[in-house]
Chain A
Amino acid sequence: MSENLRILVVEADPAKVRDIVDALNAAGWSDVKALGQISALDRTVREFAPDIVLIDLANPDRDTLEHISYVTQTEKRAVALFVDQTDDNLTKAALNAGVSAYVVDGLTMHRIKPVLETAIARFQIMRQMQSELDAAKQALEDRKTIDRAKGILMRQRGLSEDDAYNLLRKTAMSQGRKVIDVAHALVTAADLLS
């Protein structure tokens, strides 16, 4: 993974922060910011816009981070958790549970790179699945709108279903717009007039 990720480390202990930042730098990630004061978390997440946030599982500020993530759309951001002891079962279970939380034995410096890379890769797969799901949902919505528009044309102009669709398509082509946009306009107009 060669892309340069922006990483935010939330940790109050300066010595721990130094270790983590060193390990991240050594692993090739240079765009790293550390935050000790939780009161600045909201602003920092918005301004720094990290790709990944690292926080200790035992850190009580986790709830605050999670709340900020809802507000700033977590789905665009991975939250990686690190625990002090290695626990492979936990890591595996967390990975399988998906979403954006990953448990990492991040303080074992020689392992921080592979573990983070795995976490990020998993996160990207999840994100892609999410966007595919969103696209599928959108397609379904579009289909419904086009069906409604066809219905309106069939009723109002006495067209067959195929002719109604062709009319929509021809109108879209002549205006340089998408069929869905024309259908949308028609449905909106019909709603206004009804």
Chain B
Amino acid sequence: MTGTVLHCGYVPLVDCAPLVIAKELGFAAEEGLALNLVRQPSWSALRDMLTLGHLDAAQMLSPMPVAMSIGLGGLNAQIDALMVLSVNGTVFGVSQSLASQIGDVSFGDAKGLLTKIAQVNDKPLRVGVPFHYSMHRLLLSYWTSTAPKLIIEEVTVPPPRMADAVADGFVDAFWVGEPWGSVAVQRGVARLMMSGGDVWQFAPEKVLAARRDWIEANSDTARKLMRAVYQAAQWLDAKKNKPLAVEILGRSEHLSLSPDLIDPALTGHIAPSADENPMQVDRFVQFHKHAASFPWRSQAAWIAHQLGADAADVEKAKTCFRSDLYRQNLVGIGADMPGASQKIEGSLRFETAVASSRGHMILAPDAFFDGRTFDFSAEKG
């Protein structure tokens, strides 16, 4: 490897794909970067290594930089999201015993499922999530807050152990990123009930993060990294490239899993249980299309709002989603830029054409399951 060495942390999940592809298919090398991907054992460890300067950049759960910006969740450091690495890509599943109590609810019916769970459950529901400051947990809280009688006990479980946790009865349900939902299904210990997109159709899931002072001191390297990852994401969203992507991700140095566990997420063919046929979930995980990698200020605002931030902190949170750098650094490689950096989250029910620098941007639906909308633009100043 030649070029500027860049140490980038990641957690082995399907949605680390843009980083792995940027390295393996040479997008990083073309930019003059020697991308060194460093696997991390936990999100806390990744956060600490990034904060302490042992990593230059890292894949992060989208709420992590937001939480840190407003003084939550561990070490004090200003971490920024350079771009969104992936949208959606998580599943909610239940144990076999809860599944049989719930009975027949069609996959993806967030409202119907919640009503059923609230009916059959008279004790607190223990739900496994990977990390406290994760989109999984925020979506879980948002979804279940509409059923005030249902008490949720949040349990943090490392994703590779989610299947065991539900098999042992340690949790009744889980919200996890692929491939770990499909792993639980293949082991016959859980039934998937919906995807994250059924609660929020366009939820920023992972971001590419770096320390603000590092970005300032290494603006050229940051630009190279963003360009490489942008191109990898573009490559990943092309249907014809999926088989190769599945093969590369499965390799031992990355996820080290068989291709049939990685394929469901990338193709959107999700099997809810071991004896059901896979169903097609649109935009199960999105890397590039519909401006997926654009870090909307309003997405950071929604996250901060869910974390209980006041108006001042919501404004502060917005500044850590660097749509300014995205515009500045990616315009040169033909990225289409939306006219605005904020949108009313939840307002798009259909694919919608919007004003953009190249004039043809189509945004995907971003509605919430309960139809609420969030406009944070009024809170300026």
Q: Does A33 contact B (CB under 8 A)?
A: no
Q: Does B261 contact A (CB under 8 A)?
A: no
Residues of the B chain whose Cβ atoms lie less than 8 Å from the Cβ of A59? 41-42
Residues of the A chain whose Cβ atoms lie less than 8 Å from the Cβ of B54? 90
Residues of the A chain whose Cβ atoms lie less than 8 Å from the Cβ of B48? 81, 94, 97, 101, 103
- Complex Cα gap A60–B160 (Å): 9
- Complex Cα gap A93–B75 (Å): 11
Residues of the B chain whose Cβ atoms lie less than 8 Å from the Cβ of A57? 41, 45
Is the CB–CB distance between A67 and B158 below 8 Å?
no
Is the CB–CB distance between B132 and A70 below 8 Å?
yes
- Complex Cα gap A64–B158 (Å): 7
Decide if the interface of chain A is mainly helix, strand, loop or mixed. helix
Q: Does A35 contact B (CB under 8 A)?
A: no
- Distance of A97 from chain B, by nearest CB (Å): 5
Nearest A-chain residue to B53, judged by Cβ = A93
Task: Knowing A39-B170, A63-B42, A97-B77 are in contact, say whether A90-B52 is a contact too (CB < 8 A).
Answer: yes
Task: Knowing A64-B158, A67-B156 are in contact, say whether A98-B76 is a contact too (CB < 8 A).
Answer: yes
Q: Does A122 contact B (CB under 8 A)?
A: no
Residues of the B chain whose Cβ atoms lie less than 8 Å from the Cβ of A93? 52-53
Residues of the B chain whose Cβ atoms lie less than 8 Å from the Cβ of A39? 165, 168, 170
- Distance of A44 from chain B, by nearest CB (Å): 15
Q: Does A99 contact B (CB under 8 A)?
A: yes
Task: Knowing A39-B170, A66-B44, A90-B54 are in contact, say whether A61-B158 is a contact too (CB < 8 A).
Answer: yes
- Complex Cα gap A42–B43 (Å): 19
Residues of the A chain whose Cβ atoms lie less than 8 Å from the Cβ of B75? 97-99, 101
Is the CB–CB distance between A99 and B52 below 8 Å?
no
Identify which of B74, B130, B132, B155 contacts A101 (C-beta below 8 A).
B74
Fill in one digit per residue for B275-291: 1 if any A CB lies within 8 Å of its CB, else 0: 00000000000000000
Is the CB–CB distance between B45 and A62 below 8 Å?
yes
| Size bracket of the B interface | 20 to 34
Identify which of A60, A68, A98, A103 contacts B42 (C-beta below 8 A).
A60
Q: Does A189 contact B (CB under 8 A)?
A: no
Residues of the B chain whose Cβ atoms lie less than 8 Å from the Cβ of A90? 52, 54
Decide if the interface of chain B is mainly helix, strand, loop or mixed. loop
Residues of the B chain whose Cβ atoms lie less than 8 Å from the Cβ of A60? 41-42, 158, 160-161
- Distance of A62 from chain B, by nearest CB (Å): 4
| 8 Å CB interface, A86-109 against B | 90, 93-94, 97-99, 101, 103
- Distance of B12 from chain A, by nearest CB (Å): 11
- Distance of B54 from chain A, by nearest CB (Å): 6
Nearest A-chain residue to B75, judged by Cβ = A97
- Distance of B65 from chain A, by nearest CB (Å): 16
- Complex Cα gap A60–B41 (Å): 5
Nearest B-chain residue to A59, judged by Cβ = B41
Residues of the B chain whose Cβ atoms lie less than 8 Å from the Cβ of A98? 75-76
Residues of the A chain whose Cβ atoms lie less than 8 Å from the Cβ of B347? none
Q: Does A58 contact B (CB under 8 A)?
A: yes
Q: Does B176 contact A (CB under 8 A)?
A: no
Q: Does B154 contact A (CB under 8 A)?
A: yes
Nearest B-chain residue to A96, judged by Cβ = B52
Nearest B-chain residue to A60, judged by Cβ = B158
Is the CB–CB distance between A97 and B158 below 8 Å?
no
- Complex Cα gap A64–B44 (Å): 9
Is the CB–CB distance between B53 and A62 below 8 Å?
no
Task: Knowing A97-B76, A97-B77 are in contact, say whether A64-B156 is a contact too (CB < 8 A).
Answer: yes
| 8 Å CB interface, B196-249 against A | none
Known: A57-B41, A64-B158. 11 other contacts (CB 8 A): A39-B168, A58-B41, A59-B41, A60-B42, A60-B160, A62-B41, A66-B74, A66-B156, A67-B156, A101-B74, A101-B75
Residues on A lying within 8 angstroms of B by beta carbon are: 39, 42, 57-64, 66-68, 70, 81, 90, 93-94, 97-99, 101, 103
29 contacts between A and B (CB under 8 A): A57-B45, A58-B41, A59-B41, A60-B161, A61-B42, A61-B158, A62-B41, A62-B42, A63-B42, A63-B44, A63-B130, A63-B156, A64-B156, A64-B157, A64-B158, A66-B132, A67-B131, A67-B132, A67-B156, A68-B156, A81-B48, A90-B52, A90-B54, A93-B52, A93-B53, A97-B48, A97-B52, A97-B77, A101-B74
